[in-house]
Structure 1
Amino acid sequence: MTSGTVALIGPMGAGKTSVGRRVAKHLGTRFVDTDAVIAAEHGPVPHLFETVGEGAFRTIERDVVQRELRAGGVVALGGGAVLDASTRAALADCTVVLLTVSEEAVAARLAGGSRPLLTEGLDSWRRIAAAREAVYAALADVTVDTSRRPMTKIAAELAELLQGGDAQPGTDQQEESTP
């Protein structure tokens, strides 16, 4: 399916980093999480939100995402990276994998974490995920639900699909995530 960059998009807690790291290993290519790059270069994401604000953070994010997409491999984007028009345009040259997750599954994944936009916990997640759902769906070449299956299995099936195999990761749940 692909020989270029694979971009993982989706809501917070969908498993972009967990799946991405495993997919890259299966494919024998580099993996990068753009939020981790931002943190390494500019400081922790929550601190950036507090000190420079969301607008300035999104500018930093756009630049990092575009640089990492050009570098290739498997790239996990922060949940809001797709809000930027130039990032969406850059994704046209990638295989875009949308990872979805149910509200029930994400509740456990987000527990105890520090996500600057989740000021009202799961209510914030619901609102943000719903607001971005159409953008995610429009960009996706492949959609995989990560709610009920082990990340290792999802990653192996996704890697096989990306290499041109017949595996359809989470096929039984793909229809559930279609808007």
Structure 2
Amino acid sequence: MDDFLKGTNLYLVGMMGAGKSTLGKILAHDLGYRFADTDAVIEQAAGQPISAIFAQDGESAFRALETQVLGQLASYTRMAIATGGGIVIERKNWSYLQHGVVVWLDVSVDLLYDRLKGDQARPLLQAPDPKQVLQTLLNQRRSLYAQADVTISVTEPQAPEAIAAQVIDRIRAILRPPHSTAE
């Protein structure tokens, strides 16, 4: 594949369950990039699952770790990086994200809920009405996610490979130089 991104990192943002990790691996393969998942890096560095970090130290401690990990990953090039759903909340994180191409996987709440039902590993979903939690989080974050360079809307199940192809097509479209109207 040609290097149309010229080594620029690709950051996937969106709600938990949007498919950022699955898609990130496919995009990394297709682009000849390396893949990283901020949540997995945090768990590896902390030596415990995110749910334990939330339980022991709280969300703010987790968010601080998340910013630290993002800063470290952002120093590399040729990376496809799946971020945690709330990474867009911290303003400092945008200083890292904006050095790459940011792709928002905008997945409907119904589809997110179908994917995440019964997932005990998501601390924010351990609530009486997890679907309402998803809707509330999306409402809080939507304007932040919308700052992405590319938005891919997913309202029904699609093959991850098909979504990856859409992402690459959309990125190519925004990176293409405008056509000259001069004759």
Equivalent position of 1:117 in the other structure: 124
CA RMSD of aligned residues (A): 1.6
Equivalent position of 1:32 in the other structure: 36
Mapping of residues 16-27 of structure 1, within 5 Å? 16-27=20-31
2:13 aligned with 1:9: yes
- Between the aligned partners of 1:159 and 1:23, the Cα distance in structure 2 is 8
Equivalent position of 1:79 in the other structure: 85
One-letter code of the match for 1:39? E
SS in structure 2 of the partner of residue 74 of structure 1: strand
- Between the aligned partners of 1:56 and 1:81, the Cα distance in structure 2 is 13
> Hey, which bits of structure 1, 4+ residues long, moved more than 4 A?
none
- Counting aligned pairs with the same residue, the percent is 34
Asked whether the 8 Å contact 1:26–1:159 carries over to 2, the reply is no
Asked whether the 8 Å contact 2:104–2:150 carries over to 1, the reply is yes
SS in structure 1 of the partner of residue 16 of structure 2: coil
Alpha-carbon distance, 1:165 to partner = 6.4
Alpha-carbon distance, 1:124 to partner = 0.8
TM-score w.r.t. the length of structure 1 is 0.86
Alpha-carbon distance, 1:131 to partner = 0.2
Equivalent position of 2:58 in the other structure: 53
Asked whether the 8 Å contact 2:70–2:96 carries over to 1, the reply is no
Residues 107-152 of structure 1: CA distance to partner in whole angstroms, max 9, x if unpaired?
11102212111132111111011100001102x1000023322111
2:160 aligned with 1:151: yes
Matching residue within 44, 67, 71 for 1:66: 71
- Between the aligned partners of 1:137 and 1:78, the Cα distance in structure 2 is 16
SS in structure 1 of the partner of residue 123 of structure 2: coil
SS in structure 1 of the partner of residue 105 of structure 2: strand
TM-score w.r.t. the length of structure 2 is 0.84
One-letter code of the match for 2:70? V
Equivalent position of 2:105 in the other structure: 99
Which structure 2 segments of 5+ residues have no match? 175-183
One-letter code of the match for 2:123? P
Which structure 1 segments of 5+ residues have no match? 167-179
- Between the aligned partners of 1:60 and 1:5, the Cα distance in structure 2 is 20
Question: Which of the two has higher C-alpha Rg?
Answer: 2
Equivalent position of 1:175 in the other structure: none
Alpha-carbon distance, 1:157 to partner = 2.9
More helix by share: 1
